[in-house]
A = this chain, B = another copy of it.
Amino acid sequence: MYVETRVRVRYAETDQMGVVYYANYLVWMEVARVEYCRSRGFNYKDMEAQDGVFLAVVEARCRYHYPARFDQEVVIRTSLAEANPRLVSFAYQMQVSSRTIATGETKHVFCDREMKPTRLPQKYYPTFGISHRAAK
């Protein structure tokens, strides 16, 4: 199961090689991640504001297959790769006109305002497909 998000390449995101600067793919992954959560009925902003729970990234990886260029529409397919009450990881496939331009993964731990690891509140288990039994 994946969720699709679309971003249009901004001029700001290009570099003098005439293509998208490599760090910006991680920004797109974040945009896609937020959309993934929203599509699952879960607002990331609210979890931060109401529960004081943050998703802190512990690892990010991207493989660049083909350059993205200004004004292209990039489709990002986001799926959940792993989830338990302590960590969650996402996988991303980025396409332009049906050609895969990049793939990536990010791994996150749930943490509190002091950036200490915490457990995901149970009410959010369904968002991440975590069963209450498995979470024990």
Contact = CB atoms under 8 A, between A and B. Distances in A.
Interface of A: 8, 10-12, 14-19, 21-24, 26-27, 30-31, 34, 43-45, 48, 54, 56-64, 67, 70-71, 115
A21 B14 CA distance: 9
Contacts of A56: 17, 64, 67
Contacts of A19: 16, 115
A62 B64 contact: no
Given A17-B54, A18-B16, A54-B17, A27 B10 contact: yes
A100 to B, nearest CB: 14
Contact of A11 (B21, B58, B71, B115): B21
Contact of A16 (B8, B16, B23, B24): B16
Q: Is the interface of A mostly helix, strand, loop or mixed?
A: mixed
A55 to B, nearest CB: 9
Closest 8 CB pairs of A and B: A23-B26, A14-B16, A61-B61, A23-B23, A45-B71, A12-B27, A22-B57, A16-B18
Contacts of A22: 26, 30, 57, 60
A115 B34 contact: no
B23 A12 contact: yes
Q: Which among A16, A57, A115 has the greatest number of chain B C-beta atoms within 10 A?
A: A16
